[in-house]
Amino acid sequence: MSANPNTNCLAGMQCPKCQSYGPFHVTVTSVVNMADDGSEWVSGYGEEWGDDSPAWCPSPCNFEGPVRDFKETA
């Protein structure tokens, strides 16, 4: 077994179904200024996500689950 190459945003993450190291799709929360004619991202607020955020492996297996399911266990 090789070491997980993810050491930054996806540190320790791997698809539990196909063993892919990503990239993965993760649902994040952002802050936008919402107006009737559209929205604009508000500078100074980052995206937030955590263990409960929905995630999926876009290929090849399309596994879906919370981020916690993608985290390697010791």
**Local mean pLDDT, 10-residue blocks, the chain (74 residues):** 86 94 94 93 83 93 97 76
Q: What is the DSSP letter of 67?
A: H
Q: What is the pLDDT of residue 45?
A: 75
pTM: 0.78
Half-sphere exposure of 6 (CA within 13 A, CB side): 16
Decide if 65 contacts 53 (C-beta within 8 A).
Answer: no
Q: What angle do CA 13, 63, 45 make, to 5 degrees?
A: 55
Token code pair at residue 31: 């802050």
Between CA 3 and CA 41 the distance in angstroms is 37
Q: What is the pLDDT of residue 1?
A: 53
